[in-house]
Amino acid sequence: MLNPVLTDTPHVSSRFYTQLKQNALVEMLEQYEDRTLFHLVLTYKPFQDKSYSEQSVNKFFTKFYLRYFLPYLFGHKNYHRNSAREFQPICLAFIDEHEPIPTRTQITTDLTITEYSERLHHHVILAVHQNHLLRMNELIGTNTLVGKFSYKVMTSYIRPCAADTLKYASKMMMKYPDFLSFPDRLNTKYL
């Protein structure tokens, strides 16, 4: 079996490169047999008329995940210690866009333009260790994280999934190539 070496090469199309990276991530997730996969979707509350940037949304998610979600799963805040690191969920968080909602803007009396908002949210694949399955199973469903962890979370949806769900979660990887991964030291021999 060939192990793809994912380096930036000018002769490989970006779509093909993205597919290689997605396949490598799926393969990486499948190697963890002692973990159960979950798909988490988080949307964020709008702030007046401002559209959040990629950096803002990633900052929201990082704060949510490290300050609220991990301490909930572990039952304490010492998840960052080396002894607990191997039990942390493997988390891959990808940015996605909402379905575009058209907004008509009147420019002049005879000219109207249609604009599409770019509202960002996260699709997250979590590989949860068996030690934390009981707490994770309590969160399965719609809006189980709303109001519980962060005031910026508007909606949430958690369900068990297969490794191939990563391809759906990362469908916007060409537009938003920087995805978040936790813990910060993963077994990334394929990346």
pLDDT at 64 over 80: yes
**Confidence tier at 151 by pLDDT (50, 70, 90):** confident
**Residue 104 clears pLDDT 70, i.e. is over it:** no
Residue 110 scores a pLDDT above 60: yes
Q: Is a pLDDT exceeding 60 seen at residue 185?
A: no
The answer on pLDDT for 20 being more than 50 is yes
Q: What is the pLDDT at residue 1?
A: 33
What DSSP string describes 135-163?
HHHHT-EESSSBTTTBTTEEEEEEEE--T
Averaged pLDDT, 50-64: 86
Q: How confident is the model at residue 11 (pLDDT cuts 50, 70, 90)?
A: very low
Single-letter residue type at 135: R
Confidence at residue 96, expressed as pLDDT on a 0 to 100 scale: 87
At 38, list the tokens: 């979950």
Q: Of 122, 153, 97, nearest to 39 (Cα)?
A: 122
- DSSP alpha helix (H) spans, 45-114: 54-63, 70-74, 82-85
Most trustworthy range by pLDDT among 100-104, 146-150, 178-182: 178-182
Structure tokens at 24: 């490598």
Q: Residue 42 — left, alpha, or beta (φ > 0 → left; ψ -120 to 50 → alpha)?
A: beta
Q: With bands split at pLDDT 50, 70 and 90, how would you rate the model's confidence at 128?
A: very high
pLDDT class of 152 with cuts at 50, 70, 90: confident
Q: Which amino acid is at 153?
A: V
β-bridge partners, 43: 121, 155
How far apart CA 191 and CA 189 sit, in angstroms, is: 6
HSE-up of residue 35 (Cα within 13 Å, Cβ side): 21
In the predicted model, is pLDDT for residue 117 greater than 80?
no
Rounded to an integer, what distance in angstroms lies between the CA atom of residue 156 and that of residue 78? 25
- Per the DSSP assignment, residues forming a β-bridge with 111 are 108
pTM: 0.76
pLDDT score for 155: 86
Q: What is the C-alpha separation between 180 and 6, in angstroms, rounded? A: 17
Residue with tokens 């002049």: 108
Domain ranges of the chain: 42-97+123-182
Q: Which of 49-53, 163-167, 169-173 has the lowest mean pLDDT?
A: 49-53
Q: What is the mean pLDDT of residues 100-108?
A: 60
